[in-house]
Amino acid sequence: MEMQPGQMAYDRASTVFSPDGRLFQVEYALQAIHMGGTAVAVTYDEGIVFVAYRNLPVSQLAEAGSIEKSFALDTGLGCVTAGLIADSRVLVDFLRLEAQRYRITFGETIPLALLASALGSHLQQFTQFGGTRPFAVSLLLGGFTGTRPDLIELDPSGATIGWKAYAIGRNRRQVADFLEERLTEKRDEDTAFRLAVQAVAEGSPTPFPPEALDIAVLEPARELRRLPTPEVTKRVGGMPFIGPVDRAASHRA
């Protein structure tokens, strides 16, 4: 982000508006998210597919599967994140705690809209009070109204928007345009899976190996199911954007 004249007087704290009504610290957080890997969620008739690109460690000693971008929150609730992994972990813990509080109180899964509202309020507080910084994380939060899948995007400002399919992270707008052009009215799990993987590839500057993908499927009344690497490898086999393992290139991406 290019520094504009006079900007330095207004980007010292997340609570100070610039003369044109901008919060620069929130914009910086969004910029940090856009430097991370692409994450996509696509709803289908009976569920949601989450696909995220994860930067593979340079070292051959590292376990790629230990880098989590998709998370189970409760029965029928899950999310995928883009941005700083440590910030993601804090927000996922917040979501899980809110979900468990509701379950203990009412004996059922928290409604998705209520959970998204709680997180949006939590995120917004970090743009309103001094001594803090916004979370450098965007999330695609998934759940169900009955058996109908719902998807909500949240960003560092605390804004919440519902989508049928959407992308966050690197090249978000380009990937979102790709989804909009190819999203069909009727979608089964396989159609949603292939579209989500193709969309993540659209946001990647180079081919990538299957282990660079964190893929999960969410269905009603079930925990989020993260696909193991052998299953991912089998399902994406033959796709043109799947390339050889290049950990150094993946780390730079």
Question: Would you place residue 135 in the very low, low, confident or very high pLDDT band (cuts 50, 70, 90)?
Answer: very high
Residue 4, pLDDT score: 55
Q: Is the confidence at residue 252, as pLDDT, over 50?
A: no
Can you tell me the mean pLDDT for 191-219? 93
Which range is least confidently modeled, 72-76, 113-117, 163-167, 210-214?
210-214
Residue 58, pLDDT score: 66
Separation between Cα atoms, residue 202 and residue 44, nearest integer Å: 20
pTM here is: 0.87
Distances from the Cα of 104 to the Cαs of 95, 97, 116, 219, in angstroms?
14, 10, 18, 22
Helix (H) or strand (E) holding 80: strand 77-83
Q: What is the mean pLDDT of the chain?
A: 88
Q: Is the confidence at residue 67, as pLDDT, over 60?
A: yes
pLDDT tens for 165-175 read 999 999 999 99
Spatial contact of 183 and 195, defined as CB atoms under 8 Å apart: yes
Can you tell me the mean pLDDT for 18-27? 78
Return the axis-axis angle of helices 172-182 and 189-202, rounded to nearest 10°.
Answer: 150
Separation between Cα atoms, residue 134 and residue 104, nearest integer Å: 30
Residue 14, pLDDT score: 67
Q: Which long-range contacts (CB under 8 A, 24 or more apart) does 170-176 make?
A: 170/34, 170/35, 170/36, 170/37, 170/38, 170/53, 170/82, 170/203, 170/204, 171/34, 171/38, 171/202, 171/203, 172/34, 172/38, 172/203, 174/202, 174/203, 175/38, 175/40, 175/199, 175/200, 175/202, 175/203
Return the axis-axis angle of helices 112-125 and 85-106, rounded to nearest 10°.
Answer: 130
Separation between Cα atoms, residue 109 and residue 139, nearest integer Å: 19
Can you tell me the mean pLDDT for 80-86? 94
List of domains in the chain: 20-239 (3.60.20.10)
Q: Is the confidence at residue 93, as pLDDT, over 70?
A: yes
Strand partners, 40: 51, 167
Distances from the Cα of 70 to the Cαs of 82, 161, 218, 227, in angstroms?
10, 19, 10, 10
Question: Would you place residue 182 in the very low, low, confident or very high pLDDT band (cuts 50, 70, 90)?
Answer: very high
Can you tell me the mean pLDDT for 110-127? 95
Q: Is the confidence at residue 248, as pLDDT, over 60?
A: no
Can you tell me the mean pLDDT for 205-216? 89
244 or 208, which is more confident: 208
Which range is least confidently modeled, 28-32, 142-146, 152-156, 162-166?
28-32
- 196 closest CA partner among 170, 217, 224, 226: 217
215 or 5, which is more confident: 215
3-state secondary structure of 101: helix
**Total residue count of the chain as it appears in this document:** 253
CA of residue 155 relative to chain centroid, distance: 10
Can you tell me the mean pLDDT for 16-43? 85
Q: Is the confidence at residue 253, as pLDDT, over 50?
A: no
210 or 65, which is more confident: 210
